[in-house]
Amino acid sequence: MIKTIDARGLSCPQPVILANKAIDEGTFPIEVFVDTVTARENVRRMSSNKGLQVVIEEVNEEFKLTLSK
Amino acid sequence: MSKKMISFFASHWGIIFAGAAIGIIAPLLQKFGNPPNMGVCVACFERDIAGALGLHRAGVVQYIRPEIIGFVLGSMAAALLFREFRSRAGSAPLVRFVLGIFAMIGALTFLGCPWRALLRLAGGDLNAIIGLIGLGAGIAVGVVFLKSGYNLGRSLKTYTAVGLIMPLFVVGLLLLLIFHPQFSAGGPILFSAKGPGSLHAPLLISLAAGLIIGFLAQRTRFCTMGAARDVILMGDTHLLSGVIALVVIAFIANMVLGQVKFGFEMQPVAHSNYLWNFMGMSLAGMAFTLGGGCPGRQLILSGEGDSDAGIFVLGMIVGAGVSHNFSLAGSPDSLVDGVLKVGGVSQYGMIAVILGIVVCTLIGLTMREKH
């Protein structure tokens, strides 16, 4: 099952904290929904630093990041 | 905009570039007329704006600072250009307003925001080290709250007009600056005749500097509070590298311009009361962390449509009024008959800082989602 995190509307650094927690739980893939470029970049950077693959899709000015090993 | 440019700004070199740019621009602004070790200071400049509007009557710190106007408009320009302008609102605005007030009370106890703390350090003012340690301590406490589920709730997308309020507000300030109307006898708009408020670079230079910094900070998400927070929270040094670049480049620029004077005592617009430098910045650090960004970052967010950040900014401006009207703000070291008189805060200031720490703690403890 895909783990989904809805971090839309949450301000910095909540999206990263939530994504980080999900990564630590270790079930992949993880879908993270965010609505600002700052949140997108922060989650992307944190995930890349952890050696994860990140695929970003933009839908209606919002972003879906899919994190996988 | 080209993809290459976008990825440059998001990269390590992008954030270093932004920090270095502030590190060069701030000492130059000082050379052009801004107060010593205050080429750029968000808290001080918002305080000066509060004074110019008559929200406080400390005659030496009143001026509508074009840099602040530039930060918001530069950020808006970048956000529009890169299609990142998003009007949003509704994440606990009143809490953010209160956090803004106490952030300012803390910053004015130390006499500077985190940007100025870095610039003071780069000018040889060693009190800044104590202020920065205090800032780090406040941020660390804030991170404990973040880790235990603190958050102010979601903001929602809203009408474009909402996101335009803060940019329009600063355009209004610009008009007041240019036309300098006087609304009542002895009343606003007030500009200092002496003291730090009277020291300023020419309007167009200050405005251009603000626009450049606002543009770069929007692109790179430069944030001093975020720098410390990310290191403490997850060992991420991305934002920190920008902060380090700022200090190193500003120090070199200050050396070249002959603006470095090492020491603790009699530093420009600063006091050497160690305890209250530490306490003031601890409060500021807590308030910035709970509010989601340092004062510079809040202005940048205001420019890209985040009206909750706008409320924090307005809280800071009101906080400056409170600080000076109630004699809470720190007073600088001075020489009285040739003898050093160490500055610091009044007992009211001490009580206000402690009250602020209590209020921030209550906010941190009570606004938590249980995981």
pLDDT digits (tens, 9 = 90+) for B263-298: 999 999 999 999 999 999 999 999 999 999 999 999
Chain B residues within 8 A of A49 when measuring between CB atoms: 236
| ipTM (interface predicted TM) | 0.91
Q: Which residues of chain B have a Cβ shorter than 8 Å from any chain A Cβ?
A: 10, 82, 84, 86, 88, 91, 146-147, 151-157, 221, 226, 229-230, 233-234, 236, 238, 292-293, 308
A5: closest CA of chain B, how far (Å): 14
Q: Do B91 and A9 touch (CB under 8 A)?
A: yes
- pLDDT of B74-88, one tens digit each? 999 999 999 999 999
Tokens 């740019």 correspond to what residue?
B21
- Please return the burial class of A3, using the count of CB atoms within 10 Å of its CB with bins 0-12, 13-18 and 19+: middle
pLDDT confidence bin for B4, thresholds 50/70/90:
confident
B87, B236, B368: best to mutate for the A interface, most A CBs within 10 A: B236
B153: closest CA of chain A, how far (Å): 6
B156: closest CA of chain A, how far (Å): 6
Per the prediction, chain B carries an average pLDDT of 96
Minimal-distance CA residue of chain A relative to B294: A12
Out of A32-36, B2-6, B159-163, which region has the weakest mean confidence (pLDDT)? B2-6
Q: Do A10 and B154 touch (CB under 8 A)?
A: yes
* Single pTM value for the model: 0.95
DSSP for B315-355?
A: HHHHHHHHHHHTT-S-B--EEETTEEE--B--HHHHHHHHH
Dist. CA B249–CA B18, nearest whole Å? 11
B368: closest CA of chain A, how far (Å): 12
Collapsed DSSP state (helix, strand, coil) of residue A31: strand
Q: Do B229 and A13 touch (CB under 8 A)?
A: yes
**Residue B166 identity:** M
